[in-house]
Amino acid sequence: MPGTARHDRDMAIQAKKNLPKTTDPIEKLRLQCLARGSAGIKGLGRVFRIMDDDRNRTLDFKEFLKGLNDYAVMMDKEEAQELFSIFDKDGSGTIDFDEFLETLRPPMSNARKEVIMQAFRKFDKTGDGVVTIEDLQGVYNAKHHPKYQNGEWTEDQVFRAFLDNFDSPYEKDGKVTTEEFLNYYAGVSASIDTDVYFIIMMRNAWKF
């Protein structure tokens, strides 16, 4: 149901290939995230959220630098400073990390964003903006999973493995927010050229 492994692989290869050619600091960070697959940008978002101790959704330069290091982003301090300055538009010394992640996402047309949100709304049975195992019980049939059929996994384990597709590889909490879902599919979207093909893929995957 999520982006196919082949898309993920193609995108990661493409991102690694383009990395040495780019001088733009935003593009450089975006490509380093996409080189990890569709969940790359979302993973960086998770690292920053963990560091945001006071939950004010902003980061100062020290936190920003630590987040990049924790996520093993290859970037020297000068480049990181340049990147930080681009986002610190008002010169306050802090950046809004929702805005930061939005800019980092590969650009998507409104048609793509709308179909992603349609899928999320189908997924989010309880309508609270967070998808959990409870939501999945209404939309995803675990009984077709080979590991459920051979008795290796319970239904809950199948659901959890499915949610892990969207969760950050470093901080899995079994919950998927709207932002994580968008970040994940922005990664998938980067590997698909046309809106028409992307929309068909989403409709087939989510059956709507």
DSSP characters for 27-88?
Answer: HHHHHHHHTT-TTHHHHHHHHHHHH-TT-SSEEEHHHHHHHHHHTT----HHHHHHHHHHH-
**Helix crossing, 178-189 with 195-206: angle to 10°?**
130
For the record, the structure tokens of 207 come out as 């059956």
Question: Which residues are CB-contacts of 154 (< 8 A; sequence separation ≥ 6)?
Answer: 148
Q: What is the pLDDT of residues 161-191, one digit of tens each?
A: 888 777 665 566 778 888 888 888 887 887 7
What is the model's pLDDT at position 118? Answer: 94
Spell out the CATH class of 110-206.
mainly alpha
Mean of the per-residue pLDDT values for the chain? 84
Task: Give the right CATH number for 2-104 from 3.30.710.10, 3.10.150.10, 3.40.50.1820, 1.10.238.10.
Answer: 1.10.238.10
Q: Matching CATH topology for 2-104 and 110-206?
A: yes
- Dihedrals φ, ψ of 131, to 5°? -95, 130
Instruction: List Cβ neighbours of 20 (8 Å cut-off, separation of 6 or more).
Output: none
Is the confidence at residue 146, as pLDDT, over 50?
yes
CA dihedral sign of residues 60, 64, 66, 67: positive
Tens digits of residue pLDDT in 115-143: 999 999 988 988 999 988 888 877 777 78
Q: What is the pLDDT of residue 15?
A: 86
Question: Where do the structural domains in the chain lie, given as residue ranges?
Answer: 2-104, 110-206
pLDDT of residue 1: 47
Distance of CA 67 to the CA centre of its chain: 16
105-114: Cβ within 8 A, 24+ apart:
105/30, 105/41, 105/182, 105/183, 105/186, 106/30, 106/34, 106/186, 106/187, 106/189, 106/190, 108/186, 108/189, 109/195, 111/195, 111/199, 112/185, 112/189, 112/195, 112/198, 112/199, 113/182
What distance in Å separates the CA atoms of residue 63 and residue 84, rounded to the nearest whole number? Answer: 11
The reported pTM is 0.68
Give me the mean pLDDT over the 19-41 stretch. 88
Q: Is the dihedral of CA 109, 132, 54, 49 positive or negative?
A: negative
Q: 12 falls in which pLDDT band (50, 70, 90)? A: confident
* pLDDT (tens digit per residue) in 71-113: 999 888 999 999 999 888 888 999 988 788 888 888 899 999 9
What dihedral angle (degrees, nearest 10) is formed by the CA atoms of 56, 62, 63, 64?
100
